[in-house]
Structure 1
Amino acid sequence: MSGAVKYRSDAIVELMQMPATDHDETWLKEALQQAVLLELATLPPYLCGLWSILEEDQGSDVFETIHEIVFDEMSHMGLVCNMVSTIGEVPRIADSELVPKYPGPLPGGVQPDLEVSLTGLSKQALDMYSRIERPDDPVAEERIAHTSIGAFYTAILEAFRARPELIQGTRQLTKDMSAAHGQGNNVAPLRSLGDVEAALQVIKEQGEGTAASPENPFPGEADELAHFYSFREIFHGRNLIRVSDDPPLFDFQGDEIPMPRAFPMGTVPAGGWVEGGVPVSDAVQRDLTEFNRHYSSMLRFLERAWKAEQPGTAKQMLNRAVVEMVSLQVPAQTLMATPLPDGSGKTYGPEFLYVEEDP
Structure 2
Amino acid sequence: MTQALAYESKAIVALMGQPEPQRNGKWLQDALQQAIMLELATLPPYLCGLWSIKEPARDQAVYDAIKAIVMDEMSHMGLVCNMLTTIGGSPRIDHADLVPKYPGHLPGGVRPQICVSLSGLTRASLDMYCQIERPEDPVAEFEEPGESIGAFYSAIRQAFKQNADLIQGHRQVEKAMEEDYGLGNSLVRLSTPKAVDDAIQVIMEQGEGSHSSPRNRYFGREGELAHYYEFRQILQGKKLVEVPTAPEGWAYEGDPIVMPDAFRMGTVPRGGWAQEPAYRPSAELQDHLTKFNRLYSELLGWLERTWQTDDQQAANDALDQAERRMRKLGLAARALMQHELPDGSGQTYGPEFLYIPA
- Is TM > 0.5 for Structure 1 vs Structure 2? yes
Please, which moves more after superposition, 338-347 or 48-57? 48-57
Q: What per-residue deviation string (whole Å, max 9, x for no partner) do you get for residues 191-229 of structure 1?
A: 010010000000000000000100001000111100000
1:17 aligned partner, one-letter code: G
- Structure 2 partner of 1:298: 299
Query: Does the 8 Å CA contact 1:110/1:146 hold for their aligned counterparts?
Result: no
Q: CA deviation at 1:144?
A: 4.6
Q: What per-residue deviation string (whole Å, max 9, x for no partner) do you get for residues 10-58 of structure 1?
A: 2111211111111111111111110011000000000000000003556
- Structure 2 partner of 1:347: 348
**Could you tell me how far apart the structure 1 residues matched to 2:78 and 2:237 are?**
32
Q: CA deviation at 1:84?
A: 0.8
Indicate whether 1:146 and 2:146 are aligned: yes
Task: Report matched runs for 1:56-75 at 5 Å.
Answer: 57=57, 59-75=59-75
Q: CA deviation at 1:331?
A: 1.4
TM-score by length of 2: 0.97
Q: What per-residue deviation string (whole Å, max 9, x for no partner) do you get for residues 54-111 of structure 1?
A: 0355652000100100000000000001111111111010001110000011111111
Q: SS where residue 244 of structure 2 aligns? A: strand
Query: Does the 8 Å CA contact 2:274/2:280 hold for their aligned counterparts?
Result: yes
**Could you tell me how far apart the structure 2 residues matched to 1:126 and 1:324 are?**
26
- Structure 2 partner of 1:281: 282
**Could you tell me how far apart the structure 2 residues matched to 1:211 and 1:245 are?**
19
Q: SS where residue 274 of structure 1 aligns? A: helix
Q: Could you list the runs of 4 or more consecutive aligned residues of structure 1 that deviate by over 6 angstroms after TM superposition?
A: none
Q: What per-residue deviation string (whole Å, max 9, x for no partner) do you get for residues 149-170 of structure 1?
A: 0000000000000110111100
- Structure 2 partner of 1:179: 179
Q: CA deviation at 1:145?
A: 4.4
Query: Does the 8 Å CA contact 2:140/2:248 hold for their aligned counterparts?
Result: no
TM-score by length of 1: 0.97
- For this pair of structures, how many residues does the alignment match? 357
**Could you tell me how far apart the structure 2 residues matched to 1:229 and 1:323 are?**
30
**Could you tell me how far apart the structure 1 residues matched to 2:275 and 2:127 are?**
27
Q: SS where residue 201 of structure 1 aligns? A: helix
Q: CA deviation at 1:247?
A: 5.3
Indicate whether 1:319 and 2:320 are aligned: yes
Task: Report matched runs for 1:43-122 at 5 Å.
Answer: 43-55=43-55, 57=57, 59-122=59-122
- Structure 2 partner of 1:217: 217
Q: CA deviation at 1:146?
A: 3.2
Task: Report matched runs for 1:235-254 at 5 Å.
Answer: 235-244=235-244, 248-254=248-254
Q: CA deviation at 1:309?
A: 1.4
Indicate whether 1:32 and 2:32 are aligned: yes
Indicate whether 1:130 and 2:130 are aligned: yes
2:282 aligned partner, one-letter code: S
Query: Does the 8 Å CA contact 2:5/2:108 hold for their aligned counterparts?
Result: no
Residue identity (%)? 52
- Structure 1 partner of 2:333: 332
Please, which moves more after superposition, 272-281 or 245-254? 245-254
- 1:355–1:144 Cα change, 3 Å: farther
**Could you tell me how far apart the structure 1 residues matched to 2:342 and 2:264 are?**
14
**Could you tell me how far apart the structure 1 residues matched to 2:246 and 2:261 are?**
39
Q: SS where residue 203 of structure 1 aligns? A: helix
- 1:129–1:300 Cα change, 3 Å: same
Query: Does the 8 Å CA contact 2:62/2:234 hold for their aligned counterparts?
Result: yes
**Could you tell me how far apart the structure 2 residues matched to 1:245 and 1:14 are?**
43
- 1:107–1:311 Cα change, 3 Å: same
**Could you tell me how far apart the structure 2 residues matched to 1:201 and 1:245 are?**
30
Query: Does the 8 Å CA contact 1:60/1:260 hold for their aligned counterparts?
Result: no
- Structure 1 partner of 2:196: 196
**Could you tell me how far apart the structure 2 residues matched to 1:259 and 1:347 are?**
18
Q: CA deviation at 1:324?
A: 0.8
**Could you tell me how far apart the structure 1 residues matched to 2:270 and 2:2 are?**
27
**Could you tell me how far apart the structure 2 residues matched to 1:23 and 1:346 are?**
47
Q: CA deviation at 1:275?
A: 2.0
Q: CA deviation at 1:282?
A: 2.0
2:49 aligned partner, one-letter code: G
Query: Does the 8 Å CA contact 2:140/2:247 hold for their aligned counterparts?
Result: no
**Could you tell me how far apart the structure 1 residues matched to 2:142 and 2:9 are?**
27
**Could you tell me how far apart the structure 1 residues matched to 2:246 and 2:132 are?**
30
**Could you tell me how far apart the structure 1 residues matched to 2:91 and 2:38 are?**
12
- Structure 2 partner of 1:266: 266
- 1:2–1:338 Cα change, 3 Å: same
Query: Does the 8 Å CA contact 2:105/2:115 hold for their aligned counterparts?
Result: yes
